[in-house]
Amino acid sequence: MRMGKYELGRTIGHGSFGKVKFAINVENGQPFALKVLDKSKIIDLKFTHQVYENDFESIDFEVI
């Protein structure tokens, strides 16, 4: 599956809020792990604040 400049591969992990997919930036060939969050689970469980604190504050990442 392709999303813009990213080619998504197999699922390499999963958790309470979503999965982690293997991905490649097709422009430069750089491989990386992409965390795909299930927005409905986060909102339904009212964990929005916790998810942002735990997953986003201390990581250098690009939001796609």
Chain mean position to CA 33: 7
d(CA 46, CA 43): 5
Amino acid identity of 50? Q
Any binding-site annotation on 21? no
Q: Which residues are annotated as a binding site?
A: 35
Q: Which residues are annotated as a binding site for ATP?
A: 35
